[in-house]
Structure 1
Amino acid sequence: MADTKPQRRVFFRIWDSDVAASFRRSPVAIVSGVVALVIVLAALLAPWIAPTNPYDPSSLNLMDGFTPPMEPNAFTGNTYLMGTDNQGRDVFSTILYGARISLFVGVSAVLLAMALGISAGLVAGYRGGWVDAVLMRVADVQLSFPSILIALLIFGVARGIIPPTQREAMAIWVLIVAIGLSDWVQFARVVRGATMVEKGKEYVQAARVIGVSPLRILIRHILPNVMGPVLVIATISVALAIIAEATLSFLGVGVPPTQPSLGTLIRIGQQFLFSGEWWILLFPALTLLALALSVNMLGDWLRDALNPRLR
């Protein structure tokens, strides 16, 4: 039988840490964490939780279209928790499957932005000189434009390069690249500033003296010491990336209709809002609001918890 004492020591060390104690003392962080966890788990378990598969045409019945929430359909007698849309799809099921796509796009885009921004920030902060000047001027130029416009530009260029037969299959990956390339600047600037501070400290100077390579110094010594603010930015950026995906999908340039995300569902619901079918728009919009707000509040709490001046 495996010894569980090391695992127990790690658990109690984490439980007794300052960050965990700060989380337990913050009702906002607890509520936000619970809401985000519920939505994420519901999205991951959508194939087992959703009453129907909204993307399986054989499970749809057009006679169930526009069924209000918790009211039996006049033709079929079926009742749905959050009603149905114009195609007879269960809104609750579409939200679960749509949240999976929104979360996948948001998290993947932030990971791409982190990889680009951390790499650029480390190189610019450590090398300095013309390398730093070029990278930061590129960052300054990108900051002068709204990120959503940059994402639209990248998405449009990529759609023009990809053959028409592959556009729908590549739409999600193009969306991830577009959002990731539009959000790397904030990571680069924060990491650059922290790297410039760390490279002047004694442990970096000692590593240089003994002949440690610059790449090893960046990865083994400087990178772990600049990850605190990066994690805070990443948490907040996930919420912003999810909203960016929803915005692009709402504008009709994001996820294809065959794989609708929360933004696509909101765009579809907006078409029927003024005809009385309010639930098609309301429930996806509330889900997006709850997800983005809870992740954003977790980012705010993490920023305060990792700030030694606020302890």
Structure 2
Amino acid sequence: MADMPSPATPDDGIDRRSAFARFLDSDLFFAFKSSPVAMVSFVVSVVMIGAALLAPLISTQNPFNPAELNLMEGMTKPGTANEFTGKSFIFGTDPQGRDMYSAVLYGTRVSLLVGAASVLFSATIGVFLGLMAGYLGGRTEAVIMRVADIQLSFPAILIALLVFGVARGIIPPAQQEGATLILLIVAIGLSNWAQYARTVRGSTLIEKGKEYVQAARVIGRSPLVIMVRHILPNVMGPVLVIATINLALAIIEEATLSFLGVGMPPTQPSLGTLIRIGQQFLFSGEWWILFFPAMTLVILALAINMLGDWLRDALNPRLQ
């Protein structure tokens, strides 16, 4: 019996592969495979972010829970057995008996949460205002861009300190410690929205003159629908690059605020808080209390920043 012919595959020029299969065959993934720096940065970032997310499972204790701390285990050097309990700690312990390995994992978790949430907050504000400025133009554009210009003339850390200080003055003292996390996210987010607004505004000015936007206007689409459904997807490339780079900057900014004493409290330390606590013991010989949080912050920020730099170069058509 003759073999039955296989059904013909439609040849209509439409790529019916999955999004993941198309990504594996894209120029972006080829550039990623060709860049050792990007691959190493990606692996380091994923490992550190994964370790922070899995902190409750892979840590030896919850450093935020005073009931799990033992003062007899305080000031234990890394890799040595405690003289009272005989337990050893890979990163040592601080004066409260807090395992620095667990503290670094939980501190990285807090720093990543503040960094990611503040980037999402600032990107949302900046993209929305940038779309409005670029599409509507006129006085709306003038007001938004002048405010952005004024904000960009000040360092982000000063704006964050101002926002944080004003908010702390409004919130009752009894509620300030519980609201610190949200205050940090809002303060850092409000200090970084202008970069997104300027970038999106420039891209929107280019996109709104194209034929697909003119066609949407002809069929009666509202300006909000045109901005959100038609222009926004085409201006997200630069936003992704800025967000990746700003994630590292936001983590450093949070660490700076915590180091200055206006960030996370010692009961819920971020990496910046751990560094602030550790520097008090640096010259007395307990170097590990400062060293491990500081190195974690440096490696995390460097890996994310290098990944963002590669992504910026890979998505820049002028460098292709």
Task: Map Cα deviations across residues 269-303 of structure 1 (whole Å, 9 max, x no partner).
Answer: 00000001000000000000011000001101111
- Aligned pairs (5 A) from 1:40-55: 40-55=49-64
Q: TM-score, normalised by structure 1?
A: 0.96
Task: Map Cα deviations across residues 91-143 of structure 1 (whole Å, 9 max, x no partner).
Answer: 00000001110000000000000010000000001111111111111111111
What letter is aligned with 2:257?
Answer: L
What letter is aligned with 1:262?
Answer: L
Q: Does 1:195 align with 2:198?
A: no
- Aligned pairs (5 A) from 1:1-311: 9-311=18-320
- Name the SS of the counterpart of 2:196 in structure 1: helix
Q: TM-score, normalised by structure 2?
A: 0.93
- Name the SS of the counterpart of 1:140 in structure 2: helix
Which is greater in Rg?
2
Distance of 2:196 and 2:259 partners within structure 1: 27
- Name the SS of the counterpart of 2:195 in structure 1: helix
- Name the SS of the counterpart of 1:78 in structure 2: coil
Larger relative helix fraction? 1
Distance of 2:226 and 2:37 partners within structure 1: 39
Change (3 A) 1:194 1:176: same
Distance of 1:60 and 1:230 partners within structure 2: 43
Distance of 2:83 and 2:193 partners within structure 1: 52
Change (3 A) 1:7 1:60: farther
Distance of 1:129 and 1:12 partners within structure 2: 44
Post-superposition offset of 1:8:
7.5
Distance of 1:257 and 1:269 partners within structure 2: 11
Post-superposition offset of 1:211:
1.5
- Name the SS of the counterpart of 2:269 in structure 1: coil
Distance of 1:105 and 1:132 partners within structure 2: 30
Task: Map Cα deviations across residues 34-56 of structure 1 (whole Å, 9 max, x no partner).
Answer: 11001101000000000111122
Distance of 2:79 and 2:256 partners within structure 1: 29
- Name the SS of the counterpart of 2:86 in structure 1: coil
Change (3 A) 1:152 1:210: same
What letter is aligned with 2:205?
Answer: M
- Name the SS of the counterpart of 1:169 in structure 2: coil
Single out whichever of 210-219 and 112-121 deviates more from structure 2: 210-219
Gaps of 5+ in 2: 1-14
Change (3 A) 1:7 1:271: farther
Identity of aligned residues (%): 68
What letter is aligned with 2:114?
Answer: V
Gaps of 5+ in 1: 1-5
Task: Map Cα deviations across residues 236-280 of structure 1 (whole Å, 9 max, x no partner).
Answer: 000000000000000000111211000000000000000010000
